[in-house]
Amino acid sequence: MTSMALFCAALVAALNVLMLLFVARGLKTLLSNQVDKALKEMREEGAAARRQMQLSADGAWVARQVELARDHVEGITLLLQVSRLHSHSVPEAALRNLDFLGRKLEELHAALRPATSPAPPENPSDHPLPYEFHASPCDR
């Protein structure tokens, strides 16, 4: 082989090595991009799963609070029915339970209210009802 043929063979070999390096670098970049994309998707899926778990826990808490409120309403109703049956005045326990129920429902409402919505007025006279509530006809 002549020196020119050896030179051409070496040049072709060098070009092949450079081409392999170029292809390898491209594959590395491609694989790196794919791995980065997969990691990003996994992080997003993990965040979505954590949000879903939190919503599930929040939903369970709300369900418990509503169930407790329902139980209080049933208890108050029973107290008032017994009171009416025996022609007694409204039992103090019914009034205390109504007060407790109102506070618990306000806590639940505050927990569910978006952060941007305004809080309701503290003083009940700031938002008068369109009608009056009376525990019995004698309260008028």
Q: What separation in angstroms does the CA of 137 have from each of 45, 46, 80, 88? A: 60, 59, 14, 12
> Greater confidence, 1 or 36?
36
Domain range summary for the chain, segments of one domain joined by +: 3-111
On the question of pLDDT at 26 being above 70, the answer is yes
Phi/psi zone of residue 87: left (φ > 0), alpha (ψ -120 to 50 degrees), beta? left
Nearest to 90, CA basis, from 44, 126, 134: 134
Digit-coded pLDDT (tens) for 67-78: 889 898 998 999
Q: What's the CA gap between 46 and 76, in Å, rounded?
A: 45
Question: What is the pLDDT, as a whole number, of residue 136?
Answer: 52
Question: What is the pLDDT, as a whole number, of residue 115?
Answer: 62
- Confidence band (pLDDT; 50, 70, 90) for 91? confident
